Amino acid sequence: MSDIFSRKWIASLDYETPFFVFSKRKIVDTLGEFVECFPGAAIHYAMKANSEPEVLRTLHEVGSSFEVASAHELDLLRKIPVPPENIIYGTSVKPSSHIKAFFEYGVDRFAFDSFPEVEKIATTAPGARVYVRASVDDTGSVFRFSEKFGADKENIVPLLQHARKFGLQPYGISFHVGSQATNPLAWANALSSLAPIIERLASARIKVETINLGGGYPSAYAGTDKTVHLRDIAHSALKQYRRLPYQPRLILEPGRGIVGDSAVLVSTVIARIERKGSPWLFLDAGVYNALYEALPFQGSTRYRVTAMRPSKDCALALFSLTGPTGDSPDVITREAILPQNIAIGDRLIFHAVGAYSIVVASRFNGFPKPDVYFVEHHEGGV
């Protein structure tokens, strides 16, 4: 995988570290890959992956729709403004006040996965279109959702019948195979499991308009055992889709899959210390203010890291990288291979950091979030 920015170009930036740089072209190009691989599908970017206003504006300008998880995210789209017909409220459990805010803005498509949620939506957004979120097999995904979200398959028909009874429009079925899915057949397998349910719905005189394939489309991080390609996912999913009793329109909710590979983080070494014979590099960015998913309980995402300063003919060494806070879990990796002569003041580049980084960053110990910059172009290479 080629770098979106050349090392020489990044070195030319006169910004104080730590900072993120995003390629708007990369974001647009990746959206185009989804459109090409899933012709005719509605692409709703999942804002939870990265809700930076410039990301949202960039996607809106090229025709993307949005999957939104709260009234707070909706407020960001209002400012652009994104029209309500390009928005779905995809969280299956929601505060009534948030449902009201969406409905008053004109959004009329809501996810649900339980009987109480049907009645909540019917009270707050009468006549709305609703789609039931089904629990599907998410084994093999780094972050699994089936424990917290999703209706059991035997409840899908009763749930949509219940929605119709309360004056709502049965709109579709959605699922999520889990974030950072590693099985390219996961989406096809989920579609296969829904085929008999669609037949039972037809017997109940319910014909769904959409099937929402959700997200989970992975980024290729360092140490990824198997690279999953979007074209392979699409090939198997569309093959199974054509076997359904009929073909509702597809909706996709890529988040990480759109922005994950669109950015780098630049950080400076603030200390180099030997710990039990192993070199540790302390940086001005860590898991709390920049790289949250590197925390072990978050899946131990391993970002590819390179040194900005060329070190020709220098031996490589294994380093542990840690952030600037006083908390021991603030360790980015213990397996960074970098030039042996890395020193205080050197800058490191973390790659593919566009998703679940800025949006979950905190000010733990008072360290601020890194600044964020966007460029129209990107210059690949070394």
Please write the tens of the pLDDT for every residue from 146-184.
555 678 888 999 999 999 999 999 999 999 887 666 788
If asked whether residues 297 and 342 sit together in one domain, one would say yes
Please check whether residue 324 lies inside any domain of the structure. Answer: yes
Tokens (6 digits) for 173: 């079925």
Model pLDDT for residues 86-98, shown as the tens digit of each residue: 999 999 999 999 9
Reported confidence tier of residue 216, pLDDT bands at 50, 70, 90: confident
Quote the pLDDT of residue 378: 58
DSSP 300: -
Q: How many residues does the chain have?
A: 382
Do 215 and 84 sit in the same domain of this protein? yes
Contact 230, 34 (CB under 8 A): yes
pLDDT at 183: 81
Same domain, 167 and 268: no
pLDDT per residue as tens digits for the range 16-39: 999 999 999 999 999 999 999 999
Same-domain check for residues 105 and 157: yes
pLDDT of res. 165: 96
Examine the domain organization and report whether 109 and 212 are in the same domain: yes
The answer as to whether 311 is a domain residue is: yes
Amino acid identity for residue 260 in this structure? G
How far is the C-alpha of 80 from the C-alpha of 47, rounded, in Å?
14
Domain membership flag for residue 229: yes
**Average pLDDT of the residues in 203-219:** 91
The percent of residues in the chain predicted with pLDDT above 70, rounded, is 91
Biggest CA pair distance of the chain:
73
Could you tell me if residue 35 is inside a domain?
no
- Three-class secondary structure of residue 280 per DSSP: strand
Name the residue among 294, 272, 296 with its Cα closest to residue 282. Answer: 272
Higher pLDDT, 295 or 282: 282
**Given pLDDT bands bounded at 50, 70 and 90, which one contains residue 294?**
confident
Both tokens of residue 186?
A: 């996961």
Highest-confidence range of 177-191, 211-225, 269-283, 291-305, by mean pLDDT? 269-283
300 belongs to a structural domain: yes
pLDDT of residue 143 exceeding 50, the answer is no
Nearest to 305 by CA among 337, 273, 344, 263: 337
Report, as an integer, the average pLDDT of 336-342: 94
Domain boundary among 254, 276, 300: 254
Same domain, 174 and 145: yes
Mean pLDDT of 179-199: 86
C-beta of residue 380 within 8 angstroms of C-beta of residue 295: no
Average pLDDT of the chain, as a whole number = 90
Q: Which residue has the tokens 């994104």?
A: 82
- Among residues 221, 254, 287, which one ends one of the domains? 254
Cβ neighbours of 329 (radius 10 Å): 14
Confidence check: pLDDT of 312 > 60: yes
Classify residue 21: in a domain, yes or no.
Answer: no
Residue 182 belongs to some domain of the structure = yes
Q: Which domain holds residue 343?
A: 263-375
Please report, for the domain that includes residue 249, its CATH number: 3.20.20.10
Kindly state whether residue 312 falls inside one of the protein's structural domains: yes
104/230 same-domain check: yes
* pLDDT higher than 60, residue 344: yes
Whether residue 196 is found in the same domain as residue 238: yes
Do both 243 and 332 map to the same domain? no
| 226 and 285 inside one domain | no
Which of 146-160, 261-275, 348-362 is predicted with the least confidence, judged by mean pLDDT? 146-160
In sequence order, what are the residues at sequence separation of 6 or more whose Cβ sits closer than 8 angstroms to the Cβ of residue 352?
219, 220, 221, 260, 261, 263, 303, 304
Total number of domains constituting the chain: 2
Asked whether the predicted pLDDT for residue 340 surpasses 80, the reply is yes
Residue type, 343: A
Distance CA 77, CA 72 (A): 9
Question: Of 202, 219, 254, which closes a domain?
Answer: 254
What is the tally of helices (H) and strands (E) in the chain? 10, 18
The residue that leads in pLDDT, 99 or 382, is 99
Residues 70 and 121 in one domain: yes
**Residue of 134, 116, 118 lying closest to 126 (CA atoms):** 118
Task: Report yes or no: 38 and 214 within 8 Å, Cβ to Cβ.
Answer: no
Three-state SS at 243: coil
At residue 148, the pLDDT reads 59
pTM for this predicted structure: 0.92
